[in-house]
């Protein structure tokens, strides 16, 4: 077995001992993990999640982000600790005492969560997400904001269409952030679309919204 070699004080080349090599490899691994945005975490209810390794606009170190594993959003948060940060920074600059943040196709809520982390003065948020499993993660990811009594969050579990009723929702197999009522717009969709409730766009408004109550 080959090991890296070092020069001792007398200039002779001496193999690094197995113990030293293992310690060295372990330290390199720790450094690599710390540089990653997040590490996988299995919650008590068997839900998949990521635990942030460092402070980012998505949360503080050791904060939990509930998310299904895929090749896009999950991978970005895993590597960088953020997703959609450009959009979030823009939204945070617009927030004021009379602002209502409307997030259509909110997915797991990363964009909204990041915006609220940067601007806690946004008083009301409406999130629309038709996919049931994603909505569960969305509510978990925004719980802290809806419980702190400063931001009212309204969760809408439906898709937006030109007519109300039920329709099939197609989601890209390896990208949970790409869903549509039109199968032709989703590359490699799930074999069977999931039936979801649909509302016309005009039903989503700040005055008389037909959605579930927030945690507040």
The pLDDT assigned to 13 comes to 47
Whether residue 127 contacts residue 101, with contact meaning beta carbons closer than 8 Å, is answered with no
Helices 85-94 and 110-118 cross at an angle (nearest 10°) of: 50
Find out whether 52 and 65 touch, Cβ atoms under 8 Å: yes
67, 53 Cβ separation under 8 angstroms: no
First-to-last C-alpha distance (Å) of the chain = 61
pLDDT under 70: residue ranges of the chain: 1-34, 146, 148-149, 191-193, 198-216
Q: Specify the pLDDT at position 94.
A: 86
Q: What is the pTM of this model?
A: 0.76
Q: What is residue 58's predicted lDDT score, i.e. its pLDDT?
A: 96
Report the distance separating Cα 15 and Cα 109, nearest Å.
52
pLDDT value of residue 162: 80
């Amino acid at each position: 077995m080959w090991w890296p070699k070092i020069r001792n004080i007398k200039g002779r080349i001496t193999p690094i001992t197995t113990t030293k090599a293992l310690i060295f490899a372990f330290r390199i691994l720790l450094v690599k993990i710390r540089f990653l945005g997040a590490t996988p975490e299995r919650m008590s209810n068997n839900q998949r999640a990521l635990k942030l390794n460092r402070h980012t606009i998505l949360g503080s170190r050791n904060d939990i982000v509930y998310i299904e594993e895929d090749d896009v959003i999950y991978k970005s948060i895993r590597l960088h600790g953020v997703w959609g940060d450009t959009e979030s920074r823009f939204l945070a600059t617009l927030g004021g005492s009379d602002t209502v943040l409307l997030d259509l196709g909110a997915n797991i809520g990363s964009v909204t969560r990041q915006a609220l982390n940067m601007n806690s003065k946004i008083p009301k948020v409406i999130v629309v997400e038709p996919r049931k499993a994603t909505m569960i993660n969305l509510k978990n990811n925004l719980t802290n904001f809806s419980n702190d009594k400063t931001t009212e969050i309204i969760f809408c579990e439906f898709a937006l269409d030109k007519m109300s009723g039920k329709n099939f929702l197609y989601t890209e197999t390896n990208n949970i952030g790409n869903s549509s009522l039109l199968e032709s717009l989703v590359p490699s969709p799930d074999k069977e679309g999931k039936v979801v409730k649909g509302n016309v766009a005009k039903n989503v408004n700040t005055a008389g919204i037909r959605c579930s109550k927030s945690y507040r």
